[in-house]
Amino acid sequence: MSGTSSSRRLSEAQETAVAELIRVSPVADELGRRFAKAGHELHLVGGSVRDALLGRLGNDLDFATDAHPDQTLAVLKGWAEATWETGRDFGTIGAQRDGLRLEITTFRADVYDGVSRNPLVQYGSSLAEDLRRRDFTVNAMAVSLPDHVFTDAHGGLDDLAEQVLRTPGTPEQSFGDDPLRMLRAARFAAQLRFAVDPGVRAAMVAMAADLDRITAERIRDEFVKLICGADPVYGLRLLVDTGLADRFIPEISGLKLEIDEHAQHKDVYEHTLIVVANAVRLEGPDGPDFVLRFAALMHDIGKPATKAVTSDGRVSFHHHEVVGARMTKQRMKVMRFPKDVIAEVVELVALHLRFYGYGRGEWTDSAVRRYVTDAGPLLSRLHKLTRSDVTTRNRRKAAQLASDYDALEERIARIEAEEDLARVRPDLDGNAIMELLGVPPGPVVGRAWRHLKELRLDHGPLDRDDAEAELLRWARAEGIVTPE
């Protein structure tokens, strides 16, 4: 970037920041005056300053102060609409005022021993010390309150204009202190679409193994933020290229299958990244959708384990969706994801191939009902994942697949309108089953219920007489009731 262009970008960023800060200044300045009156400093810091300069300041504001938590609470008393102390062990007190969420943290001078997984929290004595310990220069700027003095000792404003991530000190020292910062570099690259400084990138490669010191939960949380960033593909490439992915999700690097001249097939790794990008585009205004994005990332991880070359030289990956679902579940458990999130992602991976074959005209209404019932509340995501999975460069084939899926969705809509597929239930409930068969609650009722549900899926709704006749026919065949 030329000097003139860079200067223009800096000027635009500063003008944007002023506009953003004016919006929150009534609260921020009032809080700054309260801290000053109590004899303390207060500074807007970190991501809040960065986001203000980028024109994207939200309603969550981060502050730094020389006041300790008890002193901060005393300043907030009678002014904040609510306060919370969940971050007190790290020197952070939370507060709410006029729709803004404020986090006020005592100056930090954390000490790392190079072995423990978390920093030993120590309070610092100055703003300069606090900013020096931060991860990247674009997060090491501050605006003092209420006088609005701007502090940028590490060139963060220049780096913001250049859209590059650098560390305030050497990257080796920064990453040695907290290896999670390497993963955070990839996360910010994905969120902000910023380049990573070559020196930072080299340190990520050299120190990737240090990530093993970090807890699974901290890695998971950073990774979720990366996946939900504006450009997750860029962040994922950075993780793979630096070797960081191998430390906690090696299945992604494992998608780089060797392609030999006798068994050509599409590059699974590149295909996967395209599927992720497609899924992001299909999210709609409610995104980002972590479950959809992560399912897109993991949908083909079963391919390396199932790769086979047939006698005619073609490559196959039979049942890779089944193997991939199992691998996805194992990896997500290791990363300590909640059970409900694991279940949703695993189900999408398991179902992502179900659609193929529909265009050959093999699906009955029963198959459509089962597709909808098996997907359940994930149906909308399954639609998006299946469409995202079409990455062929053959326009004719891509158009045919899109047309086939359009037809399937139209067919689902027609059957749903007729049968309420969202709540497929047997035509007789448990009480009716017990009354008709003369049996008490127990396993027989469950078996009968499942049989009636299978009939419902195969044939659609039955009227009461037909449902009762079918149940009695089943019960006689099972020896539950005596044949007439």
pLDDT at 400: 80
Q: Are residues 146 and 186 in the same domain?
A: no
The secondary element (H helix, E strand) that includes residue 336 is none
Q: Would you call the peptide bond into 304 cis, given omega within 30 degrees of 0 as the criterion?
A: no
User: Do you know the residue count of the chain?
Assistant: 484
Crossing angle of helices 216-227 and 232-242, in 10° steps, is 140
User: Distance (Å, rounded) from C-alpha 162 to C-alpha 210?
Assistant: 29
pLDDT at 261: 43
Q: Are residues 365 and 466 in the same domain?
A: no
Owner of token pair 């497929």: 424
Is the pLDDT at 368 greater than 60, yes or no?
yes
Do 64 and 130 contact (CB within 8 A), yes or no?
yes
Residue 254 inside a domain? The answer is no
Which of the listed residues 184, 214, 248 is the one where a domain comes to its end?
A: 248
Q: Are residues 311 and 377 in the same domain?
A: yes
pLDDT at 482: 54
How many Cβ atoms are within 10 Å of 471's Cβ, its own excluded? 25
Q: Are residues 440 and 339 in the same domain?
A: no
Q: Are residues 14 and 147 in the same domain?
A: yes
pLDDT at 2: 44
Mean pLDDT (the chain, rounded): 85
Which two three-digit tokens encode residue 16? Answer: 């944007």
Do 102 and 96 contact (CB within 8 A), yes or no?
yes
Q: Are residues 388 and 461 in the same domain?
A: no
Which two three-digit tokens encode residue 98? Answer: 């006029």
What is the total count of domains within the chain?
Answer: 4
Residue 130 inside a domain? The answer is yes
Q: Are residues 143 and 181 in the same domain?
A: no
Owner of token pair 């539950």: 480
Residue 482 inside a domain? The answer is no
> Using a CB cutoff of 8 Å and minimum separation of 24, what contacts does 278-282 make?
278/387, 278/388, 278/389, 278/390, 278/391, 279/384, 279/385, 279/388, 280/232, 282/384, 282/387, 282/388
User: CB-based burial of residue 235 (10 Å sphere; 0-12 exposed, 13-18 middle, 19+ buried)?
Assistant: buried
Residue 186 inside a domain? The answer is yes
User: Distance (Å, rounded) from C-alpha 207 to C-alpha 71?
Assistant: 39
Residue 483 inside a domain? The answer is no
- Of all residues in the chain, the percent with pLDDT exceeding 70 is 84
Do 176 and 207 contact (CB within 8 A), yes or no?
yes
User: Distance (Å, rounded) from C-alpha 71 to C-alpha 76?
Assistant: 9
3-class SS of residue 289 = coil
CA 214 to chain centre: 19
Is the pLDDT at 263 greater than 50, yes or no?
no
Which of the listed residues 126, 142, 162 is the one where a domain comes to its end?
A: 162
pTM, rounded to two decimals: 0.80
User: Where in the sequence is the domain holding 197, given as residue range(s)?
Assistant: 163-248
Do 389 and 299 contact (CB within 8 A), yes or no?
yes
3-class SS of residue 443 = helix
315-333: pLDDT as tens digits = 778 789 899 999 999 999 9
Do 68 and 123 contact (CB within 8 A), yes or no?
yes
Q: Are residues 2 and 135 in the same domain?
A: yes
Q: Are residues 154 and 218 in the same domain?
A: no
Residue 257 inside a domain? The answer is no
The identity of residue 346, as a single letter, is V
Is the pLDDT at 432 greater than 90, yes or no?
no
pLDDT at 109: 73
Is the pLDDT at 441 greater than 60, yes or no?
yes
pLDDT at 434: 78
How many Cβ atoms are within 10 Å of 51's Cβ, its own excluded? 19
136-171: pLDDT as tens digits = 999 999 999 998 888 999 999 999 989 999 999 999
Q: Where are the alpha helices (DSSP H) in 118-210?
A: 127-132, 156-162, 171-177, 180-192, 198-206
Q: Indicate the pLDDT class of residue 420, thresholds 50, 70 and 90.
A: low
Which of the listed residues 101, 136, 162 is the one where a domain comes to its end?
A: 162
- Best CA proximity match to 123, nearest among 90, 86, 85, 168: 90
pLDDT at 459: 66
Could you give the angle at the alpha carbon of 98 between the alpha carbons of 97 and 99, nearest 5°? Answer: 95
What number of CA atoms fall less than 13 Å from residue 167's CA on the CB side?
24
Q: Indicate the pLDDT class of residue 290, thresholds 50, 70 and 90.
A: very high
User: Distance (Å, rounded) from C-alpha 224 to C-alpha 126?
Assistant: 33
Partners of residue 308 on adjacent β-strands: 316
Residue 262 inside a domain? The answer is no
User: Distance (Å, rounded) from C-alpha 455 to C-alpha 44?
Assistant: 64
- Of all residues in the chain, the percent with pLDDT exceeding 90 is 53
62-77: pLDDT as tens digits = 999 999 999 999 999 9
Could you give the angle at the alpha carbon of 240 between the alpha carbons of 238 and 245, nearest 5°? Answer: 110
Q: Indicate the pLDDT class of residue 364, thresholds 50, 70 and 90.
A: confident
How many Cβ atoms are within 10 Å of 271's Cβ, its own excluded? 18
Which two three-digit tokens encode residue 219? Answer: 């890695």
Q: Are residues 241 and 275 in the same domain?
A: no
pLDDT at 257: 67
Do 350 and 321 contact (CB within 8 A), yes or no?
yes
Residue 104 inside a domain? The answer is yes
Could you give the angle at the alpha carbon of 391 between the alpha carbons of 390 and 392, nearest 5°? Answer: 100
Is the pLDDT at 421 greater than 60, yes or no?
no
Arithmetic mean of pLDDT, 87-93: 92
pLDDT at 52: 86
Q: Are residues 19 and 122 in the same domain?
A: yes
| 25: CATH | 3.30.460.10
pLDDT at 82: 96
The secondary element (H helix, E strand) that includes residue 316 is strand 315-316
pLDDT at 395: 83
Q: Are residues 82 and 158 in the same domain?
A: yes
Q: At residue 95, what are phi and psi to the nearest 5 degrees? A: -150, 160
